[in-house]
Amino acid sequence: MRALISVYDKNGLVEFSRELAGLGWEILASGGTSKVLGDAGIDHIEVASLTGFGSLLSGRVKTLHPAIHAGILADRDNPSHLADLVEQDIEPIDLVVCNLYPFKSQPSIEMIDVGGPTMVRAAAKNFAHVGVIVNPDDYVPVLDELKTLGELSAGTRRRLAREAFAHTAAYDTAIVSWMDGGGLSSEDAAGGDTVASGAAAAGVATVEATSGGATSGGATASGTTASGTTALPPVLDLNLELADSLKYGENPHQRGARYRVRGQTDWLDSMVQHAGRELSYINLFDTESAWWLAYELKASCSQEQPYSGKSENLEFSAVIVKHANPCGAALGGTMADAYRLALECDPVSAFGGVVAISDHCGIEVAEAMVEGPQADVIIAPSYDPQAIEMLVARRKATRLLEAPPPHRPSLSVRSLGDSFLVQDNDIVSMDTSRFEVVSKAVLPEGSMNDVMMAWLVCARTTSNAIVVVNNEQAVGVGAGQQSRVEAAEIAVTKAGDRSNGGVAASDAFFPFRDGLDVLARAGIKVVVQPGGSVNDKAVIDAANEYGIAMVFTGERHFRH
């Protein structure tokens, strides 16, 4: 039995090779692998002595030779293949052990492996007769099977082949994404070693754009649309691997799992669960929404802003999410204050929701949570051990999650039948210099923080959405209504008297004045909206009638 070993990742190489040789296998090795085996005193045949060629073209050609690939690809059940091997004096290769240059961590032209993927694909194609290992984690189970059976079973060879094809697919995906991200410079093309940063590999399918011919949106070869804007890529390669099996999907009869981009890690991979039940699809979906908004609020609204009227910064943010929508959000001078204020928005809806806090969960905030309604999930950047004990004692089912700051990819991908909808992720601009007061009434002193907070929370609420904020505290949320008027009615009803003197945000323009009438009757003094309706003048006139300050942001934030 003969094995060909050519690996970049040398972890476990010596131990595996020594045991393989001990089982009577003959080992072929190339380049650096050969040197490591030689230094370890492991008998092997150097590939160059087999092919009659040393390393060529600065290492670009080492294993690309018929003596190698005919040995891998020969169908042992085909007499003509076997005759060819005999005629050319080529021995079959029964196992290929190969992992590739680390392109994802060191993207450049010279990190694009050619010989490695060729060997891997050849072995995987011929899995009926040849085993292939691309992951050092498979060394032990392969050795165990060889010791037990004397050979690899058909099932194992098939499993390894599938892993190999997934490995090369992810590798090519990373290269395409790097090139789409501008990672190919003239120096790279000339063979230089420049490492250029590019877009990370997007997430098992190759998705071809179907609008505008060969490219999405009528994009030209230069990657721009007819309007001059940058086009989305004509091909989006999604290569995903199972990261976590979940308790269930949105409902108990649905399976659920989390996948991640193959070969990459996400902030969720660093998340630690300290207590509580197994996570479900909805738990994770809502947790991401809450965690992201908590950090956005802290980053955008927790400092003194023009006209804020605050003598000190509000450094802490808390968000409560139920079914992907905020039902509480607030800033506070302490973490416990921020949580209590967030809970005041809608304590009934908060039951069974997700609580996200921007800073350390200490004893004081844990006490407040114990006094509050049951949460399905609590997520924080860190916990006091005593806080965990308190929460576990009173809230055994609550999932206590500790996580690093969240991050989002540049593109959002959603399945639509057998197609996919792709768009840029929605970034909410908090540049107040772009905000325009279009009413006769000016912004009341100290209202800018509320304007910013209302706008941000509204952007993260399902459309149609109206959010009411008063004194850095969300007090009413109207989410997911077909009618903007009904969204306004829900928001001010939940806010009650807290609407008086507050700020209301609308995720899209008011098509008529009726939505503004609802807010005005509730005592709202400032309205922030994108503008852009043919009836903007009528709505502004209504604002002037009520003495409401109206702010146009120029940017809509629908969320579906």
Q: Where are the domains of the chain?
A: 2-178, 266-402, 433-552
Give yes or no for residue 192 having a pLDDT over 70: no
HSE, side-chain direction, 13 A CA sphere, residue 166: 18
Domain 266-402 has CATH 3.40.50.2300: no
HSE, side-chain direction, 13 A CA sphere, residue 518: 24
Nearest one of 274, 307, 275, 271 to 287, comparing CA atoms: 271
User: What is the share, in percent, of the chain residues with pLDDT greater than 70?
Assistant: 86
Distance between CA atoms of residues 513 and 504, nearest Å: 14
Highest mean pLDDT among 73-82, 230-239, 549-558: 549-558
Class of domain 2-178: alpha beta
Q: What is the mean pLDDT of residues 37-45?
A: 89
pLDDT of residue 482: 95
Q: What angle do CA 472, 410, 426 make, to 5 degrees?
A: 40
Do 266-402 and 433-552 show the same overall fold? yes
Annotate 492-546 with three-state secondary structure.
HHHHHHHHCCCEEEECCCCCCCHHHHHHHHCCCCEEEECCCCCCHHHHHHHHHHH
pLDDT of residue 61: 66
Task: Write out pLDDT tens, residues 23-35.
Answer: 989 998 887 888 8
Give yes or no for residue 207 having a pLDDT over 50: no
125 is catalytic: yes
List the CATH code of the domain at 433-552.
3.40.140.20
Q: Considering the candidates 65, 125, 310, 360, report the single residue annotated as catalytic.
A: 125
Q: What is the mean pLDDT of residues 76-83?
A: 87
Which residue(s) pair with 549 in the sheet? 526
323 is catalytic: yes
Average pLDDT over the chain, rounded to an integer = 85
Confidence band for 97, pLDDT divided at 50, 70 and 90:
very high
Phi, psi of 166 (to 5 degrees): -65, -35
Report whether 422 contacts 535 (CB < 8 A).
no
Q: Considering the candidates 310, 323, 360, 440, report the single residue annotated as catalytic.
A: 323
pLDDT of residue 48: 74
pLDDT of residue 84: 82
Name every residue whose Cβ is closer than 8 Å to that of residue 311 and which is 6 or more positions away in sequence.
none
Give yes or no for residue 261 having a pLDDT over 90: no
Report whether 464 contacts 483 (CB < 8 A).
yes
Look up residue 508 and give its two tokens: 């899209």
User: Beta 419-424 vs 466-469: how paired, if at all?
Assistant: unpaired
Task: Write out pLDDT tens, residues 343-377.
Answer: 999 999 999 999 999 999 999 999 999 999 999 99
